[in-house]
Amino acid sequence: MSQKHLKEAFVSNLNGTSLLEISVGLSLAPLCLLCRGLLLILYYLHYGKPLSSRKYSLLLDFLVLVSPLLFSCTVLSPVIFFVPPVIAAFCAGIFSKIYSQRKQETRVPFRQVVKDFQKTYLDPEYIPAITVFRVYVNVLTSISILAVDFPQYPRRYAKAETYGTGVMDLGVGAFIFGNAVVCPEVRQRSYVTQPKFSHLARQFFSIWPLIVLGIGRLLSVKSVEYHEHTSEYGVHWNFFFTLAFVRLAASLLLAIFPKNNSWIVAINLAVLYQLILNATSLKTFILHGSDGRDTRVGVLNANREGLLSLFGYLAIYMASVQVGLWLLKCRNSVKGWIEAVCFLLLTVLVLFVFLHVSQAYADPVSRRMANLSYCIWVVAHCLTFFICFVVSDLTLVFTKLLVKGSSVPCCWNVVKPPNASKKHETEAVPMRREGKLSHICLISAINKNQLLFFLLANVMTGIVNILIDTIHSKTAFTLCILHLYMFFNCLIMHILHAKNIVLKFW
């Protein structure tokens, strides 16, 4: 077999992993974020000033926020269930040290600290968990698209062939979810007063970079005979096209239907699509082509997975718009966000019940078709991931209250109560120390150029695969390549952010 066919076979005919393993894996990123925040607070406690060195901040962020994820999806994957408890125990140790040292200075009872925490007001204009969620989806995707070509990346984490739940199957849907929760229809509160179809025209113009990137990927892959997993999207289709057309179709639906009812549109889309899959020969067509022998003759046959899965991804997008609208409701207190977390946990529980019913009576999870079970699974796990980030943020807010003056980039800002007197109302603004430190935060750096980061990761993945025989790489070499690859991508984002450069021209 040629190198191209070997690599294609290496990522084909896989069945995914368990929902439990994916859930455990999702807890790693929030724990890493919590660990980084606690280390920064401990540093402030010891030295009386925040870590302000760009060089050391980048090194800390990479070693704590990125490197553990690289190890967890490679050499630590056999013991993945033990990794979160170890990181959690380390975080608990740091917190205990912070609390004990702080207690020597101010002897406030723990119960009083908890009461003060519940009464704390947060900046309602900024929800860091949304930013961190989107950045980490990008980071995890960037790690996986290269790591999957190395033998140290477990085959169960790769995309399942037809049915199954691989980590990379979730990544595709999570990308859609992350884009939808911050889409213009969610962010522009005055959207309802604007001409709907002029807004649609602007959205049509804004997707052209994705179309260009999709065409560029198609031409580059075909020109160098790069290995492809055809059953993912088809012969000519790719994820850039999916992002573009889902966004355009969603804008059209949101111009027709009230955006507050987007969850109803999502349910109808997903259920109707599943009914058509089960009641007609559409499922057979997607899996086996029009002749039942996996033909790729004709545009529709050649790209049937990419074209028909748009219905499922569109349902995920519409459901995520509803989530985004709900998250942006003004919650300006810790108590309000604790209640929100409880509501989200209940929602996740209900979704997992629906997922069990859907898999038992409709169809198992299939990213290839983006069926009803896949839609429910993606939304449920994305909400779980988001909840973990909110809990991490609230923990850091609590810790910052213990150490007055401490700060953590990309974490909630504490503000003064809104019922303060007018004299003090002008002072009821977020503490700006976090804003000043955001220029040395890797999360802020990636967030500023997310599309560029994703594009750079795709280009670097292609270069590495062309230059290196990834399938036969040894463990030490694999870890070295993956760390260099991710550090290079992060370093470029860090430099652009330090110079305040945003490469967005549309």
Segment 193-205, tens digit of pLDDT: 566 667 677 777 8
Cross-strand partners of 414 = 122
Comparing C-alpha atoms, which of 373, 354, 348 is closest to residue 363?
373
DSSP 8-state code for residue 77: G
Please say whether the dihedral angle defined by the alpha carbons of residues 371, 375, 376 and 382, taken in this order, is positive or negative. positive
User: What are 161's two structure tokens?
Assistant: 């062939």
Q: Which residue carries 């992350």 as its tokens? A: 178
- Tokens for 252, please give them: 């059209």
Helix intervals (H) in 403-418: none
Run of H or E including 245: helix 239-256
What is the dihedral angle through the alpha carbons of 485, 488, 489, 495, rounded to the nearest 10 degrees? 170
State in Å, rounded, how far the first CA of the chain is from the last one: 44
Q: How far is CA 425 from CA 117, 413, 485, in A?
A: 21, 16, 48
Q: What is the pLDDT, as a whole number, of residue 106?
A: 58
What's the maximum distance between 2 C-alpha atoms anywhere in the chain? 77
Beta bridge partners of 165: 16, 17
pLDDT of residue 405: 84
Has this prediction a pTM greater than 0.85?
Answer: yes
What is the chain's length? Answer: 506
* Cβ atoms 407, 44 nearer than 8 A: yes
Nearest alpha-carbon partner for 489 in 466, 457, 467: 457
- Select from 468, 464, 476 the least CA-distant residue to 3: 468
Report the DSSP beta bridge partners of residue 333: 121
Residues linked to residue 16 through DSSP beta bridges, in sequence order: 165
Q: How far apart are CA 368 and CA 13, in angstroms?
A: 12
How many whole angstroms separate alpha carbon 95 and alpha carbon 112?
Answer: 17
pLDDT tens digits, 172-220: 999 999 999 999 889 875 444 566 667 677 777 888 889 999 999 999 9
Task: Supply the pLDDT for residue 41.
Answer: 94
- Could you give the CA distance from residue 330 to residue 342 in angstroms, rounded to a whole number? 17
In angstroms, rounded to a whole number, what is the distance separating the alpha carbons of residues 131 and 5?
39
pLDDT digits (tens, 9 = 90+) for 382-436: 999 999 999 999 999 999 988 888 889 989 888 877 665 444 443 334 444 454 5
Which residue, 118, 15, 173, 139, is CA-closest to 65?
Answer: 139
